[in-house]
Amino acid sequence: MHPILNRATALLLPHQCVSCRQFADTTGLCAACWSALAPITAPMCRQCGLPLAEILEDGICAACWATPPKISRIRSALRYDDASRSLILKLKHGDGLQLVPFICRLMAGRFAELTSDDPLVIPIPLHRWRYWRRRFNQSAELARYLCHQHGTGVYSPVLLRRQRATQSQGGLSRQARKRNLAGAFAISPDAARADHPVLLIDDVMTTGATLNAATRVLQRAGAPEVRALTIARVI
Ligand SMILES: [Zn+2]
Ligand SMILES: [Zn+2]
């Protein structure tokens, strides 16, 4: 169904769960789908956002101490599990666009925290073949909606581009993911420098290989600081 028709149908059926399509008491998710989601809450590492068992004095996890990450702050709304995977699959395929406002609500607090100084907000781009097939980039839809709703951050969808199609990262090892992404991203030729702090937006963080590959390119182009926000993250 065309996305516009989908939206119209959603308006006619306002109390339908955006995930399982069962009738719900309120807009958004039904009680069962809500309670299945696992939000990532404090305490967490101040840098990589990893949930911590206790509050640490300096707020930095052991891994970030040992190797300071390229990305200054990573935050995610949810743990990646069956419930968030199903939500993200719906966002990417089929009726994705009508889930955007709901998912952005889940990301709102973290987005506000990461955009108080109006960084460039850059969605992880899809390769054009994938974009043609899907007709939209879910990360770009989230980034645009978040900037618009909050009035912070500068939505910058064309600065970073994917110059090489990569095979799906699923099932690849950490090293293989890194190799798969070598040379995948580039800065648009008409934007030679990116001398602003940047907030990257993506759907899922697994090993961080995609976010790190994009960060390397942005830092080479002059970005003084790169942060990242995803819907969900593998813990
Ligand atoms: Zn539901
Ligand atoms: Zn950390």
pLDDT digits (tens, 9 = 90+) for 170-209: 777 888 877 877 788 999 876 656 789 999 999 999 999 9
Q: What is the pLDDT of residue 90?
A: 87
Copy the structure tokens of residue 123.
């969605």
Categorize the per-residue pLDDT at 135 as very low, low, confident or very high, splitting at 50, 70 and 90: confident
178 CA from centroid of ligand 2 (Å): 20
Percent of the chain whose pLDDT exceeds 70: 89
Cα distance between residue 162 and residue 74, in whole Å:
21
Q: What is the CATH number of domain 71-233?
A: 3.40.50
Token representation of residue 198: 């940047």
Question: Which segments of the chain belong to CATH 3.40.50?
Answer: 71-233
Tens of pLDDT, residue by residue over 3-17, are: 555 555 555 555 788
Q: Give percent of the chain with pLDDT exceeding 90.
A: 56
Confirm if 79 and 38 have CB atoms less than 8 A apart: yes
2 pLDDT higher than 60 = no
Tokens of 189: 């030729």
Q: How confident is the model at residue 57 (pLDDT cuts 50, 70, 90)?
A: confident
Asked if 97 and 6 count as a contact pair (C-beta separation under 8 A), the reply is yes
The answer to whether the CB of 77 falls within 8 A of the CB of 232 is yes
Give the helix ranges, DSSP H, for the chain. 3-12, 31-36, 62-66, 82-92, 100-114, 128-134, 138-150, 174-180, 209-220
Please determine, for residue 102, whether its predicted confidence score (pLDDT) is greater than 80.
yes
pTM: 0.88
Say what the pLDDT of residue 70 is: 95
Better-predicted residue by pLDDT, 150 or 19: 150
Banded pLDDT at 94 (limits 50, 70, 90): low
Measure 227 CA to ligand 2 centroid, in angstroms. Answer: 13
CA 23 / ligand 1 centre spacing (Å): 8
pLDDT band at residue 22 using 50, 70 and 90 as cut-offs: confident
- State the Cα torsion 18-124-134-176 to the nearest 10°: -110
| Ligand showing the shortest atom-to-Cα distance for residue 37 | 1
The amino acid sitting at 28 is: G
- Considering the chain, what is the average pLDDT of its residues? 86
Confidence check: pLDDT of 1 > 90: no
The answer to whether residue 169 scores a pLDDT higher than 70 is yes
DSSP annotation of 197 reads -
Spatial CA neighbour of 38 closest among 77, 3, 93, 71: 77
What one-letter code names the amino acid at 133?
R
Helices 100-114 and 82-92, axial angle in degrees (round to 10): 110
CB atoms within 10 A of CB 202: 23
Distance 48 CA to ligand 1 centre (A): 31
